[in-house]
Amino acid sequence: MIFWDSFVNYFQPLVLWYLRPLVKWFLRKTTKLCELQRICYGDPQGAERTLNVETSLRLSRRPEIKSLIKMLDSVHKDVIYRRDFVHYSVYTVLTLKKIHPKVHPQFAPSFSRCIEQLHGYETLKRDVETLRVEQYDADNPEHEAKLIKLWEAIMPDTPLEARVTKQWQDIGFQGDDPKTDFRGMGMLGLENLLFFATDYNKAARQVLSHSHHPTYGYCFAIVGINLTSMAYHMLNDGSAKTHIFNISYSLPNMRLFHQLYCYLFYEFDRFWMEEKPRDIMEFNPIRDKFEKSIRHSLAKRDTLFKINLYIDNI
């Protein structure tokens, strides 16, 4: 079995390189449609269609398509305007594939939608990274205001006695000053926690109460920042594309990332309680087990995570 897997992994790129063009040529001749047309006409809207369009573009040997992909991969680093990129992509494909828009009126809108999602995803990665590298600054009034707002949202009946106080440990920070806990994920960690506490307040407070369990308790804020890291890596390695493309009726945006984070936090809390850990020392293996299950779900093209919160509104 190991030998066969190694054999397949070794020769698969060669098979794709030589056989794929022949299959495409044959299907083009028999269907009178190029691969991108077959995808846009035959695959359901969402992750299935958009990911297949991306794969088709990335496997293309045409220099013009390679240039298009190079631009797409630069979106998360450079400002490339969506409208310009979509127009360039559609024009390039229509010209290269000799697709007449009047003969095939459905293609351009369908293909444009896929390109918009791909561009939006890369833009989202850039926006998330911007927040992640922004370090919490206690001298920044805006940062301080968001931190205080987090406390007020999650602990509405308990006034904060001071800016630096052991009370922060009540919501799962490690010490008297939360600023040191944001180092790894920067302001992204705070923004995620704040979104959960404000947009899904009852759910967040329920999760906080679970974190105070005498046997299965954990540090709410620290676990939340850890889950920010999980969501961040899933976004950057592309695992989150299935969920994002299936749920984004508009373009992928920061709110969708925050909602993905809220789903992870709410589900991790349920997962943790069901595992009944002996103590907090079991956090890493349970966290890894949870991430493995999430990634397994994301590997399916029809995955769409819905925050099933009967106690709150989406």
Q: What is the pLDDT along the chain (314 residues), one digit of tens a residue?
A: 444 445 435 455 555 555 666 666 555 557 678 899 999 999 999 999 999 999 999 999 999 999 999 999 998 788 888 999 999 999 999 999 999 989 999 999 999 999 999 999 999 999 999 999 999 999 999 999 999 999 999 999 999 999 999 999 999 999 999 999 998 999 999 999 999 999 999 999 999 999 999 999 999 999 999 999 999 999 999 999 999 999 987 689 999 999 999 999 999 999 999 999 998 899 999 999 999 999 999 999 999 998 765 444 33
How many CB atoms are located within 10 Å of the residue 165 CB? 13
User: Is-contact 117 252, C-beta < 8 A?
Assistant: yes
Reading the block at residue 243, the tokens are 């969920």
**List of long-range contacts for 304-307, beta carbons under 8 Å, 24+ apart:** 304/46, 304/242, 304/243, 304/246, 304/247, 305/243, 305/247, 305/260, 305/263, 306/263, 307/200, 307/203, 307/259, 307/262, 307/263, 307/266
Total length of the chain: 314
Reading the block at residue 294, the tokens are 């999430």
How many CB atoms are located within 10 Å of the residue 194 CB? 19
Please report, to the nearest 10 degrees, the dihedral formed by the alpha carbons of residues 31, 35, 37, 39 taken in order. 110
